[in-house]
């Protein structure tokens, strides 16, 4: 049984691969028109090709979410192409610092992670929310992490960025709670994406160790996060806003 959606246009940032690609495909499978955005042009166009080959409607628009002018142009291009923006999945992000204790992190790492993970979400929200308000409603989901809910030793900058995403999410949700615009976040544990594969670098013992830390004994799949995002956008979540939904194989229940 498919989910029920009141709108018809969805935007996915970070849509070139992994969670973003799977979510774009899932939106399209539900009959929505999808705008895919990323700095990875080849990957983003690849996602659009997969959607079109399956009979869906999609467009790719390159955007660096850290640049306000590019985000503004992305929203304008979305409206020009499809006339509205009903759902936005602000998923663009970069990975953790590589195992540094807090004093070992560099200013360059801090700036890079915060610019994409926090400023990028903030830029998107500040251009998406007025559009949704003007058209009478909409739903936004931001990608946070379980690192935004609990301690994350040796990845303090990344954890701080994801705590900030949850703060943005809750604040925006309350601001717009009576205006028919819902804002939620999804908080994955470790997901089997290229980002995870870069982290373990082919070290299967390391990968197995990470998987075993999840009570379910495995890492998650991108499609499992996509399903959570679509639920938060769907009419089934009509009374849900300001929520950080964990999809973590039980990690945060320990």
End-to-end CA distance of the chain: 32
Residue 141 within a domain: yes
HSE-up (13 A, CA, CB side) for residue 250 = 9
Segments of the chain with pLDDT less than 70:
1-2, 98, 199-200
Residue 216 forms part of a structural domain = no
Decide if 82 is catalytic. no
Burial class (CB in 10 A: 0-12, 13-18, 19+), 79: middle
Could you give the count of Cα atoms lying within 13 Å of 147 in the half-sphere of its Cβ?
Answer: 19
- Are 249 and 218 a contacting pair, CB within 8 Å? yes
**Is 212 a member of any domain?**
no
Please tell me the predicted confidence (pLDDT) of residue 1.
45
| Residue in this structure with the two tokens 């601001």, named with its chain if needed | 175
- CA-to-CA distance for 79 and 112, rounded, in angstroms? 29
Rounded to 5 degrees, φ, ψ at 216 are: -80, -5
Beta strand residue intervals within the chain, DSSP E: 9-13, 33-38, 58-62, 87-90, 138-143, 181-188, 244-247
Strand ranges inside 105-227, DSSP E: 138-143, 181-188
- In this prediction, residue 2 carries a pLDDT of 62
Residue (of 189, 180, 181) closest to 245 by Cα position: 189
Residue 23 inside a domain? The answer is yes
Provide the token pair at 141: 């989901």
Q: How many CA atoms lie within 13 A of 24 on its CB side?
A: 35
- State the pLDDT at residue 6: 94
* Residue 203 resides in a domain: no
CATH number, domain of 235, equals 3.40.50.720
Q: Helices H, strands E: what count in the chain?
A: 9, 7
What residues contact 38, with CB distance under 8 A and at least 6 apart? 13, 14, 15, 16, 20, 44, 60, 62, 63, 92
Model confidence, pTM: 0.96
Which tens digit of pLDDT belongs to each residue from 184-238?
Answer: 999 999 999 877 777 667 778 888 988 999 999 999 999 999 999 999 999 999 9
- Domains in the chain: how many in total? 1
Alpha-carbon 89 to chain mean position:
5
The boundaries of the domain holding residue 169 are 9-191+222-246
Q: Which of 82, 87, 158, 176 does the annotation list as catalytic?
A: 158
């Amino acid at each position: 049984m498919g989910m029920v959606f009141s709108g018809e246009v969805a935007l996915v940032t970070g849509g070139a691969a992994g969670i973003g690609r799977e979510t774009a495909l899932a939106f399209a499978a539900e009959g929505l028109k999808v705008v895919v955005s990323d700095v990875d042009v080849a990957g983003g166009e690849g996602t659009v090709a997969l959607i079109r080959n399956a009979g869906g409607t999609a467009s790719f628009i390159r955007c660096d979410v850290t640049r306000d002018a590019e985000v503004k142009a992305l929203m304008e291009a979305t409206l020009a192409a499809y006339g509205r923006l009903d759902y936005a999945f602000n998923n663009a992000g970069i990975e953790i610092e590589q195992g540094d204790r807090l004093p070992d992190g560099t200013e360059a790492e801090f700036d890079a992670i915060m610019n994409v993970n926090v400023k990028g979400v903030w830029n998107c929200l500040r251009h998406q929310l007025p559009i949704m308000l003007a058209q009478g409603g909409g739903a936004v989901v931001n990608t946070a992490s379980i690192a935004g809910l609990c301690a994350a030793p040796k990845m303090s900058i990344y954890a701080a960025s994801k705590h900030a995403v949850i703060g943005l999410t809750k604040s925006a949700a309350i601001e717009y709670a009576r205006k028919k615009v819902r804002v939620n976040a999804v908080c994955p544990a470790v997901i089997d994406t290229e980002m995870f594969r870069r982290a373990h670098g082919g070290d299967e013992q390391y990968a197995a160790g990470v998987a075993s830390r999840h009570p379910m004994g495995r890492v998650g799949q991108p499609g499992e996060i996509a399903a959570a995002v679509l639920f938060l956008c769907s009419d089934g979540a009509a009374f849900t806003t300001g929520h950080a939904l964990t999809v973590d194989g039980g990690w945060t229940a320990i």
